[in-house]
Chain A
Amino acid sequence: MADQTFKLPDLGEGLTEAQLVAWRVEEGAHVEVNAPLADVETAKAVVVIPSPWAGTIQKLHARPGETVAVGDALVTIAAEGAAASVEPRLAESDDAAPRTLVGYGPGAPEAGVRRRARVAPAAVSGGDDVRAAPFVRQLAREKGVDLSQVTGSGPGGRITRADVEAATSPAGAAPAAPTPSTDGERRISVVGIRKAIARQMVRSVSTIPQFTEFAIFDASALMAARERQKSGGRSMTPLPYFIEALIKAVRAYPLMNSSWDESHDEIVVKQHINVGIAVNTNQGLLVPVLRDADQFDLSTIAERSAHLIGGARAGTLKPGDMTGGTITVTNVGASGPVETGTPIINPPECCVVGFGAIKPRPMVVDGQVVARPGAWISISVDHRIVDGALATEFLTALVRELETIRA
């Protein structure tokens, strides 16, 4: 003898409960297999439940009129003979045993746990707002490029494969061999740095309303300082002086060191001044970045900028050396007759400063025309951030800094 509890089965394809209409047995009564136990009414029909076992009724678990859920106990029977030994194999908890369909209905879900632990999802990285296609992200991972430091040249600032490649290899890829001419034209496949420059420039002129102002400054103080350095045994190009003057002017006009956030219509003013230095190389124009330039003295600026320029030309810079600029300087007319030009902003920066060649120029000093070393400066600025008056103030401040360099 073993007590077996019969649970209400799903009596008709997806039922969840039944109402007990009447018992046909009493507690203590003896029943045979298939003897009628109870009448129950489901949503579909009134049916008779036959006893699954022979034995003595131990307990009736519901009263007439009560609703019994599928899978809930209906009757407990002290089962006799074979049933007593067969039935434990049918216990629901034993997955290996043939399962009865008791408790199978939709109201009785399987245990609410995962069948198997899935591979843990990769940790979600911080909301960097970087826009890049899956392959570009994969490429950046492989090449060790930090995408948050790469300026995207694609639509909406999306970082492209070319951007990553440009950030990876300062030397860039050589332009493909020109396609042979077929009909009086020659097509040159554009890849690598040329492609990156093209996209960056298109982005600049198509998204940034920019204007340019020009000035000439008196480089006498700068040249004197250079002479002094030279006599001290250290030769220095004018570039470090430009950068140092620029940093001072920017400190006075921090808006020049900012960017326009298109998605929020906000101006983002940068704390650090990272000066991009446009370098003409065999591969095309590269812009290595002198990070935290505002933290350095003149000689450090000289040393580091020389290193960056050399690296750019040699193709030995690391990807991180080319990203994260906040303002850019460029050389316009370093040789030849060209005096100045209109530089194009390097997005998403606000300002680009072009320095011309220092050469003797006629200048009016104390009412007299005299020859003094001088050069053109041009600044292009983002008109969304900066108006003409402010640009003029800034350019004036920059000229003042350059003209008051102390030897």
Chain B
Amino acid sequence: MWGILGGSLPGLSPSIAMALLLPFTYGMDPTPAIVMLAATYVGAEYGGSIPAILIRTPGTNAAAATVVDGYAMKLQGRAGEALGISLYSGLVGGLFGLGVVVLLAQPLSTVALAFTPSAYFALGVLGLTVIASLARESLVKGLMAGAFGLMVSTVGTDPVTGLSRFTFGSPELLSGIPPILVMIGLFAIGELLAQSGERGVRHAVPERPRIRFPGPALWRRIALPQMIGSIIGTFEGMIPGGGGAVSSFLAYNEARRWSRHKEEFGHGSPEGIAAPEAANNTVACTALVPILSLGIPSSNSSAVLLGGFLLHGLIPGPMLFVSHSDVVTGLFAGLLAANIAMVIVGYLMMGPCMWLVSRPRPYLTAFIYALVVSGVYSIETSLFHVGVALAFGVVGYALRYFEVPLLPMVLGVVLGFMVESNYRRSLVLSGGDHLTFLQDRVSAGLLIAAALILLGSAAHHLVAARKRRAAGVPT
């Protein structure tokens, strides 16, 4: 419950929710303490989808991909269905990830070790290719948004030399612009500005505030995207620096590629929610692989979990399975219980959440604004950040006016630092030789995959543009 609450409040990340709980674990036995932290992570990864669906504000970075189809379903009066798909897919992804951890933690740790800076750079490039498919009707505008996002990611301290870039002398910008600020600004504040500026505001179709789990027909339809999301989440979760955001976008993209209902994506597709949500919750479990087997945290949240291990005198790594096998077994059992509890608690919370968003629109808008400014301030107790979020709200509003997709910009911000820092680190290690990206097998494989995805997306856009011209639709 704590995790779901922390994940659903924009600005609070899973790592903050876990860190807030850490002091309370001091007096506990190691096993329940670690289980509580891990369960918080699981709950928070799901919790981020609640505001993403209901108020177009991702609660966590990883929930950004859920905003697209989740909020569209909400506007169609299908918020209950969207929440049900999200919850069910989170359960599927969590159980899949748990199975992977239990059966394959030690063998899969070698995958984590295979990732060099070149491979990370190639992984980032692969993630960026998703921009091409997120760009929808206008590839050029989508790529421009992606370029804006990459530019935003360069603000702060240079990863190699330590020089400050684009900070204008502001100490608050030295650590860069957190991606969650950009997302909250573009999605939430941009939406608030758009709704305030439009007469005859589009109102969501009223619906009874009830969560609805998928029926048999929908189970079958979302089974493939859930599997896609789970597999992608498995590999992303165990790679240090991988994380939920990258996996959710990749899962969304692949689910669309293999879907028989591609045209529904972006307009309320159940598969567009199932894939990223399954990926998120798989990541929450498989992030344990590098911690348990190597003692290496793969994300901020798993770093807090590592802190929990150390606090209780446990040294994560290969010997943990031997010297504290009871803790490891207890952790696995606790995660199983946490995934099931997530469904129960999530179901119980949905009614009040949906009642809240069914309130009269003026009050709803005001409370969302209050939630956003409070949540953004909570990131680093900084009013400067609130100002930055407002500025991105203006950017989000402008992008809506010019009909530019928002997700490519988000991808650029999320992946920009990973791409640049690993690109330059690779060149330092290779003495400036660019062939290193092809000599590293993992890197070469990922770059080839990225090239194929780009070529496929470009061909698809050309064909679609030709069809629109033939039909007399302006491009």
Is B truly associated with A? Answer: no
